[in-house]
Structure 1
Amino acid sequence: MTSLISTSRCLSAARGLLIATVSLLAAPAFAADESQIRFEVAAGVSAHARLLGDGSVEVGTNRSPARQVLPASTDEEGGGTRLGHADYNFDGYQDLDTSATLGQVNESVTVYLYEPASGQFRALAAPEASEISCEGFWSLTPDPATRTLSSSCRSGPMWYSDIYRYQGRQVYLYRSMRNAFLDTEALARVLALAEVDDAEILTVWSTWDAAGKRLETAIWNAFDPPLKDAPMPGRSASVVPDKLLLYSKAGDTSTKRYLLKGDRVELLDEADGWLQLRYRNPSRGPVLGWVKLPSYE
């Protein structure tokens, strides 16, 4: 039976956890009682948060005696909440987060951004879009270098990721992933992948603007979310046959364009047995087109 390179394949939990580990979050400074936390929001501003035991957290700062009571992340039993902090909007102020484990592996995260003007904490709303793999925030990781937030969750045997960015005060979906179904035998007849890794899972990554318009796609490893700005790199491969027809769009029946054996290309997208490629022509620059994968009918 022909194997598939697909995000639906079973993966080991250990491999999946590589993408879900929140390695960039600032380590929470727990008090002796782990139901509370004290941390420095900024120079001269300290915060104290404590769990109230009813699914909420009380938080305040030394700027004011007033305290806020906010909803906290909880597990299936309504508890299991952990408190932490990190700079989630890259403004130089530490923000409050609450997290809880759901389904043994998924880490639900609620974030409250510190607002220096008011001295209070405001909930960070998770975007909603049909292209989002993980609804809400999960194992949320801020990356100051790219000013992105990575959210990762597990569904069945597979880990998925969504990458977010800011437009003003609002967070929007910047990059998302979806299944890439590639028949490996058919693919091998037309393209040879460079440096194949048995643990590699190819997915289609998409880049979106703040208005929800898709800007580009690229086929890349599920465990290596592309965080840097466009253009995204596509999985590298080389042409196998002496001549490979290159069509303008999937489903076309005629073309005058073609690639030659040994040409290096990048995999960008797939659809119904078609594969979009990018060939970097030495004289004319990037050339995009679609190739039809062989069928066995």
Structure 2
Amino acid sequence: MRIVLLNILLLFSYQSYSQKNIEINQKDGTQIKIKAVNDFEKLEITTSKNNKIQVIDSIETSISGREMHFAIEDYNFDGYQDFATYHLDDGMGVYTIFQLFIYDPTNSQFKQLKMPRNFGSECDEFCDIQINKKKKTIQSSCRGGARWHTDVWKFDKNKNLILLKK
């Protein structure tokens, strides 16, 4: 009986842990549904504002088959919910790699937030993201060789991502 209960608990835990669809309710009443297709091969996004489906097919998945996940957060501090896809790194699994997608309320679409290359950041992708809502910053920490590096990012008045500290 214990084994049956344990298997049921593990099955339930796995189903709730590996979420493949999310829903976001924006502050303007827009409802958004995001569906991961073929194990995050692409994302299909629908909104209550229109009947169009936005397809994002540039999702970086784990090459070693690590589980993909969603996170919902206001990454650019504009009051609208954005989302991220993430997975553990393919090495030792010591940090989490994120792709951030920013919501544009004017067209009800999401756009991937790319890390600017001309700022000389230590990390070449967003890792172990931490949000500081009070300072309106995004911290990204990665490992290079035997060292940990931390970059702190902020959006300027033109909504461009700039590096504050590396």
TM over 0.5: yes
Q: 2:54 matched to which residue of 1?
A: 68
| Residue pair 2:34, 2:44 contacting (<8 A) in 1 also | yes
Using the TM superposition, give the Cα deviation of residue 145 of structure 1 relative to its aligned residue in structure 2, in angstroms. 0.6
More RCO (CA 8 Å, sep 6+): 1
Alignment of 1:109-258 (within 5 A): 109-129=98-118, 131-167=120-156, 168-176=158-166
2:44 aligned partner, one-letter code: E
- Counterpart check, 1:84 vs 2:71: yes
| Residues 130 and 92 of structure 1, relative CA distance in 2, 3 Å threshold | closer
The two structures have a TM-score, normalised by structure 2, of 0.79
Query: Which 5+ residue runs of structure 1 have no aligned equivalent?
Result: 1-29, 177-297
Measure the CA separation in 2 of the matches of 1:58 and 1:45: 16
Partner of 2:12: none
Partner residue in 1 for 2:35: 50
Partner in structure 2 of residue 180 of structure 1: none
C-alpha displacement of 1:128:
1.1
The residue identity in structure 1 corresponding to 2:103 is Y
Structure 2's unaligned 5+ residue stretches are: 1-14
Note closer, same or farther for the CA distance 1:69–1:79 as it changes in structure 2 (3 Å cut): farther
TM-score (norm 1): 0.46
Q: Secondary structure at the match of 1:50?
A: strand
- The two structures, once aligned, show a CA RMSD in angstroms of 2.2
Alpha-carbon contact 2:119-2:163 (below 8 Å) kept: no
Compared CA separation, residues 159 and 33, structure 1 to 2 (3 A): closer
Q: Residues 33 and 154 of structure 1: is their aligned pair in 2 closer, same or farther, counting only changes over 3 Å?
A: closer
8 A Cα contact 1:111 1:124, kept in partner:
yes
Amino acid corresponding to residue 46 of structure 2 in structure 1: G
How high is the sequence identity, in percent, across the aligned residues? 25
Cα distance change of structure 1 residues 67 and 164 upon mapping to structure 2, 3 Å threshold: same
Q: Superposed, which structure 2 residues align to 1:23-34 within 5 Å?
A: 34=19
> CA offsets per residue over residues 29-57 of structure 1, 9 Å max, x none?
x9797111112222412211111125221
Q: 1:159 deviation in Å?
A: 1.9
- Are 1:55 and 1:78, in contact at CA under 8 Å, matched by a contact in 2? no
Q: Which amino acid counterpart does residue 164 of structure 2 have in structure 1?
A: Y
The aligned residue for residue 10 of structure 2 is none
CA contact (8 A) 2:70 2:85 kept: yes
Moved over 3 A (4+): 30-33
C-alpha contact (below 8 Å) 1:73/1:108 kept by paired residues: no
Query: How far 1:92 moved relative to its partner?
Result: 0.3
